[in-house]
Structure 1
């Protein structure tokens, strides 16, 4: 599908990443399309799996999770399902990337307190060694992909 994404599709994707709740008529106005043409393109992008969902951005501190950490996990085992089950059960793990290099996984975790974070890390430690970094700030929040240059 990537080769079929044109400049108008990228404009639509950019606008939807800024505001996933934008009315289709307003989206069409911003990308210079009729509402029906915009609707058709959005549905095509959804059907092709380019658009995978819509979600709200939540301020973690205001939601009661003032601690954000990046956790690296060295996982020596070959059975990853027990770890995947833990990640599914514990909603404090916001993101998980399987990576190359010394660490097998890089996770983003949030916690209500340092004791809470310690409990999460203890649960992860059953799968391998961990390295935890606390996040001071996020100068570049997730912004989604943009059209290739």
Structure 2
């Protein structure tokens, strides 16, 4: 019986020792992860600051690196697109439901189906029909000649000011 108790005591001591070691290990891992997270955060802050400096130089016309200029132009264009979409979203949010519109609008050019068997053969659908779309004219960059999206202030390819 004493061998059993001694064996159980050793087993429990071993389990407690292992649990304590695992807890210490987890504390070390968490401590190291906190250090890593702080370093990553500092790096992100420095990258943000670097980006801000590059954007300021770009706005002043003092950024000479073409690759950075291209990236800044893309950021500028995205900022412009973002502001446009935010304005559009706000307009949609501000839309009011028309009180006089209680149901769907009447359908134009609607003819009820002919009752009974049809004597007129169905007309074939013209598959080549393409509705005319009013597409804005393409704008070309004055510096590199690449196509620029309408409303863009800067070329995404070379960073040149378009407007």
TM-score bucket of the superposed structures, by smaller chain? under 0.3
Q: What TM-score does the superposition give when structure 2 sets the normalisation length?
A: 0.18
**Larger-Rg structure:** 2
User: Which of the pair is proportionally richer in helix?
Assistant: 2
